[in-house]
Structure 1
């Protein structure tokens, strides 16, 4: 998307074309065939926007407004790192001074917005991973930000610091629980740019923060893990071989509708885990006590982002199958979307009866492909219904 800055300092972009009602993947016919039916596109979805320039990651929707994050940790781009999609255009959010690159101290501006979410009051929250490609993590850069869309003002700015923040930290995604703590508790996944992942727990009222479960198997990337990405079998085997696909420790994170349970998963894993937030939010609980509360929920496929709907069903992105799955409350799974355009489904967000997801093509970054950036814009923001309409039998039409 071609971007420019107008005289008011707002980041503008060429129209992010909305195509509601078009670009829908049809359900494949399941007739007799000697070919794999699983390679066909399935599930209805809409392309909400197409982006050139930086690739999108975080996505959040609140009060009918759509916000998108464009992190700078992979490519240190000059566009907005946080933008609102409005009227088919992107506008730097909450303003150009905070979202565009500048010489302002890292603690006072947005450096690299990654994961995004909302709380039960409809306020926007994000994790600024603070990382600019090719540069060390600057003091004050990694932080939790809360913005009230009603006023477009930052109401929370919690700087992450050592020993919670490590030199190789990758503060990836977050969820906000307003049922614990005087002003809520934030749970952050540090998937790590190195080999030191952990969950981070932050009390909003006091800014108190701690790093937990860093050595627990549910947090770690699985060595020897193999993923098949765009038909290529790729093995996670550091430090023997450089990474060949997007990999890391704890990454995906989501809350149950009542905020009583936090679900999470390492990026380099197929398993889903859960822990009670009453336990996780207790700062006096030891890692051993926290470990006792972890439940292994079984396999859910290779997921980056996780999201929960009002019925407690969990949506999982899957970069092996160009798909988005749903884990139902009884443990069964449905394929919601499957399409060759669903490359590296990343940030995912449920807004009422619609699910939004960004497609960043992260597996094609130069760092995974011998220095060659294989991404092909545009990058998509898609959405699909949580419950696609049931087919109507025309033979059972009611008399007029």
Structure 2
């Protein structure tokens, strides 16, 4: 049986309930969870060793506490030194002004455009002179391998690269020196190519004998179509359908194992890492077909420009997609060593003992890749960071007799992003 209630009864009931119950209020809006991309946060301590307001840096090598930096001229034909020593915060043309600064001297007798650099097992500096001046063709004698003894600051080796090893569109990019093969060592060079003709180049130091190898092997070629995300922009490399929109090319980064038995290498436009025994690569009697059977595909390592190894055989790889530097451990796992918005176009990389050095040249902002607009914003940086982070300590309980931090350690702490 239904009861019928009049409107005045309903109103009376509502008033009675209001007198008994506390005042009602609107429910607070639900707290919406906010997602955070943990991979976007800076990671890893690093120190800014130097800031460069002039030409952009590329090659880097350190020996005996001395720091050498290369400033190539193939992208911008600048008027500064192409090879310099960094001392007390200043750059000095190396090995001297006449050799490193622009001049009218024949290309074979001076440094034209220093790119990759390394230190051999004897502590000597080696550099690849790609020979290229922006807007000009390669001149005879310009592309060469240079060896300099820091003990005397004198050039002890100058090996000019010639055809058919050198092509008109060659870009001799980086090098490593193996003193375990050849009477005076063997130099391995990556020709990443300004066109589409990359190759590995092998040079015997004692004789000057040289040759191109594996030019047609997939591990040497740039992959395409290929997409990279650079500063948040998805960019495609697919010649000739698309003009290059980011730094691209064939075989580029390379590094040796601690015992010089293995050469690791990677194309610039690729995410894969490869290796080959140096004993075979240094043997001029080996054919390309024989060399190809010894190549190992070690899997993905991200988009890398420079590669470097430490004494434990771990490989440090720059990554211009993530503004980062990663490390490939000997078991194939990876660690993020540095990740920071300032790490733009990490390029040359070098391990000196327990410190890793890297140049940041902002190469993906060059005008040739951005419709003629040079988007680089100086200064350019040279950074360094430890191969292994120090063990965590409890700052509230200093160890007995603990000494103050050294100035270098203080600076690294202050530089933590």
State TM-score, norm by structure 2: 0.87
- Between the aligned partners of 1:239 and 1:77, the Cα distance in structure 2 is 30
For the pair 1:210 / 2:207, whether they are aligned, the reply is no
1:6 corresponds in structure 2 to none
For the pair 1:369 / 2:362, whether they are aligned, the reply is no
Alignment map for 1:135-150 (pairs within 5 Å): 135-150=136-151
2:268 corresponds in structure 1 to 267
- Between the aligned partners of 1:269 and 1:323, the Cα distance in structure 2 is 16
1:152 corresponds in structure 2 to 153
**What's the C-alpha RMSD, in Å, of the aligned pairs?**
1.2
- Between the aligned partners of 2:226 and 2:261, the Cα distance in structure 1 is 31
What number of residue pairs does the alignment pair up? 369
1:3 corresponds in structure 2 to none
Computing the radius of gyration from Cα coordinates, the structure with the larger value is 2
Q: Secondary structure at the match of 2:344?
A: coil
- Between the aligned partners of 1:128 and 1:395, the Cα distance in structure 2 is 52
1:76 corresponds in structure 2 to 77
1:304 corresponds in structure 2 to 305
Deviation of 1:397 after TM superposition, in Å, equals 7.4
- Between the aligned partners of 1:51 and 1:253, the Cα distance in structure 2 is 25
2:342 corresponds in structure 1 to 341
Q: Secondary structure at the match of 2:43?
A: coil
Deviation of 1:78 after TM superposition, in Å, equals 0.3
Deviation of 1:360 after TM superposition, in Å, equals 0.2
1:58 corresponds in structure 2 to 59
Deviation of 1:105 after TM superposition, in Å, equals 0.1
2:27 corresponds in structure 1 to none
2:13 corresponds in structure 1 to none
Alignment map for 1:73-222 (pairs within 5 Å): 73-222=74-223
State TM-score, norm by structure 1: 0.91
- Between the aligned partners of 2:241 and 2:99, the Cα distance in structure 1 is 40
Task: Summarize the Cα distance change of 1:50–1:294 in structure 2 as closer, same or farther, 3 Å threshold.
Answer: same
Deviation of 1:137 after TM superposition, in Å, equals 0.3
Deviation of 1:317 after TM superposition, in Å, equals 0.1
Deviations 1:235-293 (A, max 9, x none): 10111111000000000000000000000000000000000000100000000000000
Deviation of 1:35 after TM superposition, in Å, equals 1.0
Deviation of 1:33 after TM superposition, in Å, equals 5.6
Deviation of 1:53 after TM superposition, in Å, equals 1.1
Deviation of 1:385 after TM superposition, in Å, equals 0.1
- Between the aligned partners of 2:310 and 2:73, the Cα distance in structure 1 is 29
Task: Summarize the Cα distance change of 1:395–1:380 in structure 2 as closer, same or farther, 3 Å threshold.
Answer: closer
Q: Secondary structure at the match of 1:38?
A: helix
For the pair 1:295 / 2:293, whether they are aligned, the reply is no
Task: Summarize the Cα distance change of 1:241–1:179 in structure 2 as closer, same or farther, 3 Å threshold.
Answer: same
Deviation of 1:391 after TM superposition, in Å, equals 1.1
1:224 corresponds in structure 2 to 225
Deviations 1:288-320 (A, max 9, x none): 000000000000000000000000000000000
Deviation of 1:369 after TM superposition, in Å, equals 0.3
- Between the aligned partners of 2:111 and 2:35, the Cα distance in structure 1 is 53
Q: Answer with 32-41 or 140-149: which moved more.
A: 32-41
* Aligned structure 1 segments of 4 or more residues deviating by more than 3 angstroms: 393-400
2:249 corresponds in structure 1 to 248
Alignment map for 1:278-289 (pairs within 5 Å): 278-289=279-290
Task: Summarize the Cα distance change of 1:396–1:329 in structure 2 as closer, same or farther, 3 Å threshold.
Answer: farther
